[in-house]
Amino acid sequence: MKIDNNAAMSHPYEVEYSCKDSRTWYDLSSLDGSPFVTNRRFVQVGDAGQCPTIFWTYNDQSCEWPVQKDCHNGGPLSFYLC
């Protein structure tokens, strides 16, 4: 999923995920752009505590996409931008 803070989508931020059977792999990527670097961002799969949460605080874009998580329980993916 790509999101941006402008209609041209010139530097989109990406929420990446892949599902197979009951396993989900997911990460956040600022490879193509980081329009939300001044915001907190996090993504979780399933209910809180069910799978590892990825959380990035204000002005942190140190290594977003290499921090891929996976969860064997699966479930709905939620992305939060604060």
Domain ranges of the chain: 2-81
In this structure, the number of other CB atoms found within 10 A of the CB of residue 41 comes to 23
Any bridge partners for residue 17, and if so which?
26
Report pLDDT for 73.
79
The helix/strand/coil state of 52 is: coil
Global pTM reads 0.81
Give the span between the Cα atoms of 5 and 72, in whole angstroms: 33
Give the span between the Cα atoms of 70 and 82, in whole angstroms: 23
Amino acid in the structure at residue 6: N
Look up residue 10 and give its two tokens: 């010139």
**pLDDT tens readout for residues 17-68:** 999 988 899 998 887 888 888 899 999 998 888 899 998 888 887 656 668 8
